[in-house]
Every structure is written in structure tokens, then in C-alpha cells.
Amino acid sequence: MATRSKALGRPLRVGVDVGGTKIAALVAGAGRQALGCAQVATDVTSPERTLDGIVAAVERALAQAGARLSEVGAIGLGIPGRVQPKTGVVESAVNLHWRHLAVGPLLAKRLGVPCRLENDARAATWGAYLTANESRFQNWAYISVGTGIAAGLILGGQLHRGPNSMAGEIGHAVVQPGGPRCACGLSGCLEAIAAGPAILREARSRLETRANSCGPSLLSAPGPLTTARVYEAACAGDTLARVVTRQAGWYLAQAVHSLVMTCDVERVVFGGGVARAGAAFLDPICEALDHLRQASPLAAEVLTPGLVGLLPTGYEAALWGALALAETDITDPLSG
């Protein structure tokens, strides 16, 4: 009862997405209407300065909302690293240079508000699931394809974290034995074939080979080669770019198939930097899924129409996930 009264007196929630280059904060009231948001550059010169940046982002977002800290019931934070949600301790966050830092307790003390932490990919999963109209599915996966590849799993309506917070690390499952070397040390990991840098490397390699034989592709045009440009060129009909995006799509479709066969998820939503290419990113995955369906009645049965999709354009899953985290009691299974 005391908690409820307190919640009524503190109707606002804040979600914070702590990135290696920027920290974004979002203030929302009941019903998840956005009231204010702010962004500051991440200063990683010391843990104290990074925490100062988080506090500044929260304060600016509140100022934009015309609100005060005393109205905030809880703050949720998505952290790019390994997090102990129960204690609020960040075990390691490489890009922030954090190791064994009690971020939750430190921020709670400074701000006078309970702070709930989660790994950012998992926060994004939770955010996409709860707020992007996906929670009609009880068994659901989010696959983020960017510099790396990671999945978040909702099983039986709950976030499945696993005892070592390793659940969903499908980027380091071997999908092509003897394939390209991965940063993790293994060969043929999904990430080493279908993440942004791998797509770029494949495009470069094919460009070099092609330059010696059958002439230029759209990708030979001046300017830096990016993953986004590979997808744009594929969209414009460039053969070389299409080969590259089809290969990535084929392995991502295999990853979807494996997730369905392993966890029986009903829906898989893609997000992350590479997925921002939209249809150019999703179409090759759908084509590959169609091939699987045609080859196998079992695959046709489990790979249902509408199985895969993209996050809505511009949807800030990690930020909304951090906000959803602030709404979730720390004793919930989400935090277990």
C-alpha cells in the first residue's frame, strides 16, 4: 500500500539508453506518453564523468517535460555490457571502460530514485516486445543486426535471460563450419558472416575480384563503402550487392529457422543498424525462408507467414525498453 501511494505520488518514469557515443533519456507518464527527451555525448574519460552524463541527460529530459526528480518513481537504464540486474552492478561494459561498477546504487544515491539496469540488447527486446505492439505473442525473439548480432528472447511471456545472462548470444553460434574467423576466436559464427562488418568485408572482397574480371558495380562509385550503401545498391538492382545481401539474408534466415526449431518462437523481429535498410534487408531473409518452406513440409509448417518483421522505422527500442524496465518491479521475473 505504501509502495502504491508512493507510485501515485511519483507518476513519472525515465528510460535511459547509455551508448558508447551518446546517452539518451526519455521521460514518460502513465500510459507511456513521452513528455520529454534529451541527449548528451558520452564522456568515457572516467566512470564519474560517464555517470555525470547520465545524470545530465535525465535532468535535461525532465526539464523539457517541465517535471522534477521528486515526481519520478523509477529510472530504467540500458547498458552496453554485462549487468547484474538484481544488484545494479555492471560487470563489464567495454565501450564505457566500466568493470565491476555499482552503477545502480551509485545513481540511486545521487538521484534519490530507484535505478534498474539491464543489458541494452535485452532492454531493447523488452521495449520492442512491450511497446511495439508485439506482446500478443508469448514466445518472441528480437534479433539486432549491427556491428554484432544478438537476440533477445521472450519465452512464455517473460524475458529469458539465463543464469549467466548469455541467452540470445546467437551471434557466436557457428553456422558455417570452417567459415570466416570471428572476433570471439571461433570460425563461421553468424556474426562473422551476417553482421555489418562481415557484409562490408564480403562486398569489398567481391569488388576486388570483380574489378579484375567483369567491371564495376554501383559500389565502385567514389565515397566510403558502408553497409547501408551495399543495401542501397542491392535495392537499385546491382548484381554484386544483391549476391552479398542474399548471402547475409540466407544465414539470417537460417538463424530464424534455428530459433524457431530450438525455442518455438512465434515471431522474430529484426532491429539494429543494418536492419535500418528496411525492405532491402528483410526481403533476402524472406526469400531464403521461402526456399526453406519449399524444400521441407516441416519448415513450411513452422515458418509461418508473417513470422519475421522489422521494428517500426525510427523506433527507439532500447530507450523504450529502458522505460519499460523502470515500470517493472525489480522482483519480477524480468529481473530474476
Q: Which is nearer to its own copies, 154 or 219 (CB)?
A: 154
The three cell numbers locating residue 315: 523506433
Mask: binding to its own copies, 242-281, rule CB under 8 A, as x and -?
------------x--xxxxxxxxxx---------------
Residue matched to cell numbers 530507450: 319
Does residue 164 interact with its own copies by CB under 8 A? yes
C-alpha distance from residue 251 to each of 66, 174, 180, 209, 304 (Å) = 48, 11, 13, 22, 18
Return d(Cα 166, Cα 295) in angstroms, integer: 32
Q: Which is nearer to its own copies, 87 or 138 (CB)?
A: 138
Does residue 115 interact with its own copies by CB under 8 A? no
Return d(Cα 168, Cα 22) in angstroms, integer: 25
Q: Which is nearer to its own copies, 185 or 222 (CB)?
A: 185
Q: Which is nearer to its own copies, 162 or 216 (CB)?
A: 162
Q: CB–CB of 115/78 below 8 Å?
A: no
Q: Which is nearer to its own copies, 31 or 178 (CB)?
A: 178
| Piece of the chain touching its own copies by CB under 8 A; list 92-100, 174-182, 202-210, 217-225 | 174-182
Task: Judge residue 163's burial from the number of C-beta atoms within 10 Å of its C-beta, 0-12 exposed, 13-18 middle, 19 or more buried.
Answer: exposed
The three cell numbers locating residue 308: 519475421
Q: CB–CB of 281/274 below 8 Å?
A: yes
Q: Which is nearer to its own copies, 90 or 334 (CB)?
A: 334
Considering only residues 183 to 222 of the shown chain, the ones binding its own copies according to CB under 8 A are 184-187
Does residue 170 interact with its own copies by CB under 8 A? yes
Measured from the CB of residue 216, what is the shortest distance to its own copies in angstroms? 30
What single letter denotes the amino acid at residue 277?
A: A
With CB under 8 A as the contact rule, the residue among 113, 175, 280, 289 that binds its own copies is 175
| Piece of the chain touching its own copies by CB under 8 A; list 103-111, 118-126, 127-135, 180-188 | 180-188
With CB under 8 A as the contact rule, the residue among 30, 166, 221, 279 that binds its own copies is 166
Q: CB–CB of 308/269 below 8 Å?
A: yes
C-alpha distance from residue 91 to each of 97, 196, 304, 316 (Å) = 11, 26, 39, 25
Q: Which is nearer to its own copies, 70 or 138 (CB)?
A: 138
Return d(Cα 49, Cα 27) in angstroms, integer: 22
- Contact residues: its own copies, CB under 8 A: 138-139, 151, 153, 155-156, 158, 160-170, 172-177, 182, 184-187, 254, 257-266, 292, 295-299, 302, 333, 336
